[in-house]
Amino acid sequence: MWIWIRNVSRLTAKELRSLLGDVPLMALIFFAFTAAIYTTAKGVKAEVANASVGWIDGDRSDLSYRLRDAIRPPYFKPPVDITNEEADPAMDRGDLIFVIDIPPRFEADVLAGRTPAIQVRVDATAMTQAGLGVLYLNEIFLQELLDFFHQRGLESMLPSQASIHLLFNPNNQSHWFTSVMLIVTNVTVLSIILVGAAVIREREHGTIEHLLVMPIRPSEIAMGKILANGGVIFFASLLALWLVIHRALQVPLNGSIALFALGTALYLFAVTSLGVLLATAAASMPQFGLLAAPVYVVLYLLSGAATPVESMPIAIQDFVQISPTTQFVKLTQAVLYRGAGIDIVWPQLVSVAVAGAIFLALALHRFRSMLARQG
């Protein structure tokens, strides 16, 4: 046992020297966990921002002007007055996301108790802007109509009002979510690529033969690569969490950093083992890239980091529960957003650890077979 630990330590140190000495690769890791997270979190918005609006006013009353003035930044650009003939060409060119058409006699019909319809045309190719924008516009119009009635002595006919409290992200800022999920993304893709590339590189450069003549086991070689590459990504992810996400982006971290670090370490154990497994199935670096890319895409898109798992079909929801990425996303959101303790996230910790053990067992079996063929 002590000999195994000593050999793994030496191989880990060898891998660390090789990795830290690779300047382009270290620059990639630094960029992925700093500038990439910051710029993407600030640039990619899930909420509506600066949506373009065209305004067709067939009424030109106090109420229609009031509704028009209520549409303002930061959610929408100031509405642009257009005619009905200009609306469709403008939407075809992508100049406008929303076109709002106020019918003639709109204010008079409202005051008379009738229900005139406001037509809202939406460019649904801008999915986020379109879906949320319609909700925003509906809320704006409803609030303005209620205020309009109140100013004329008419009370709202609503029997009750909902009191909404946004938990864990009170200002509904998308970068709070995006930035943390980018850590999951970077940890996943870099873990698979770095470890897999290390195995392929040893084989292509012929240095694997040097290791075969030494009194070391295949498990020691594989663990050395897993610990070295996983360790670098582990510390990079924790530094990014604290310096970039918490300090630079001002995202509050409500839970235990130590618990998140434990979950990250277990997840790294799982995905680096998966990287070794994929590398043993590929004959060259291009083949490894072609194999790793779809695996990463499926792990990421079905993990809940991009879209909620609950919005997926039931069969897919059940299937993705076996994915360590899905369990790690659940753990990350529970710990960092909601402040959950180990009594809440222990099922995710166990699931990730079990997946890691399965991947490691398969990787070691394939790795031994690969070394036997090399020998």
Per-residue pLDDT of the chain (375 residues; tens, 9 = 90+): 788 888 889 889 988 998 888 899 999 999 999 999 999 998 877 778 889 999 999 999 999 999 999 999 888 999 999 999 999 999 999 899 999 999 999 999 988 888 899 999 999 887 777 888 898 999 899 888 888 877 544 444 555 566 677 777 777 788 888 999 999 999 999 999 999 988 888 777 766 666 666 777 878 888 999 999 999 999 999 999 999 999 999 999 989 999 999 999 999 999 999 999 999 888 888 999 999 999 999 999 999 888 889 888 999 999 999 999 999 999 999 999 999 999 999 999 999 999 999 999 998 888 888 777 765
Rg of the chain (C-alpha set)? 28
Distance CA 91, CA 215 (A): 70
Give how far Cα 21 sits from Cα of 14, 25, 293, Å: 11, 9, 26
Query: Phi and psi dihedrals of 289, rounded to 5?
Result: -60, -45
Question: pLDDT at position 147, please?
Answer: 83
Q: Give the dihedral sign, CA 243/244/249/254.
A: negative
In the chain, DSSP assigns E strands to: 53-57, 80-81, 98-102, 119-122
Distance CA 89, CA 289 (A): 44
Tokens 């004329």 -> residue: 152
Could you tell me the residue ranges of all domains in the chain?
2-44+173-374, 53-151
Q: For residue 36, which amino acid is it?
A: A
Q: What is the CATH number of domain 53-151?
A: 3.40.1710.10
The model's pLDDT over 298-349, given as tens digits with 9 standing for 90+, comes to 999 999 888 889 888 999 999 999 999 999 999 999 999 999 999 999 999 9
Contact 19, 25 (CB under 8 A): yes
Distance CA 48, CA 136 (A): 8
The model's pLDDT over 268-279, given as tens digits with 9 standing for 90+, comes to 999 999 999 999
pTM of the model: 0.85
